[in-house]
Amino acid sequence: MSTAPLPAPAATYEDLLAFPDHLRVELIAGELIVAPPPGSAHANACTDLGADLRVRFGRSGPPGGWWILAEPELHLGHPDPRSLVLVPDLAGWRRERMPRLPEVAAFTMAPDWIAEILSPGRESHDRIRKADLYARLGVPWLWIVDPVEEMLEVYELREGVYARTQAAEGRRTVRAQPFEAVELDMTTWWMPIAEPPR
């Protein structure tokens, strides 16, 4: 008589810690999701977008009032915060909710804004799986940034579901919620256009 194989044991946070530091590892429903280091288009968009927002909004006075961080580790599971570990490309907390930036390795307060920079082969993970989790966790704003298509999509949480409120593409300036107080130049987010061969 044959028996069905036993299910694999659910992964834990200790399993996550066993991975090398250069890999981004997330824990969702007992499954470890491992991402290789991002490509240059992803890294460029993340660095320049983060710098734009941090310079303009990462202070206490107007139009500031935000903490903007790159790749913060979020522990947002219940009842064990380490049961759900997410690492967005960029995240922001309004200072009115988080007056001081805590000295912690991982955050247990959900951000007010998250940006995911798409990488080839991981689009559905960011657009569907992680976006659904961010909605369930009550993150009010989600940006999806595609450095290959040179596109920004802005999503607002409405009644527990993200609704796309804005899309912008190409090398242009944009005002996008929740940072609409200033114009952002998307040109710097994208890789420079290669010079034609001579």
Q: What is the DSSP letter of 125?
A: I
Beta bridge partners of 173: 185
**Looking at the domain 39-189, which fold is it?**
tt1808, chain A (3.90.1570)
Q: What is the pLDDT of residue 79?
A: 80
- Which of the two residues, 2 and 23, has the higher pLDDT score? 23
Segment 4-51, tens digit of pLDDT: 665 566 899 999 999 998 889 999 988 999 988 889 999 999 999 999
Residue ranges per domain, the chain? Answer: 39-189
Q: What is the pLDDT of residue 4?
A: 61
Segment 113-159, tens digit of pLDDT: 999 999 988 899 999 999 999 999 999 999 999 999 999 999 999 99
Band (pLDDT 50/70/90 cuts) for residue 186 is very high
Segment 70-122, tens digit of pLDDT: 999 999 988 888 899 999 999 999 999 999 999 999 999 999 999 999 998 88
Given a contact cutoff of 8 angstroms between Cβ atoms, the answer to whether 147 and 135 are in contact is no
Q: What is the pLDDT of residue 198?
A: 64
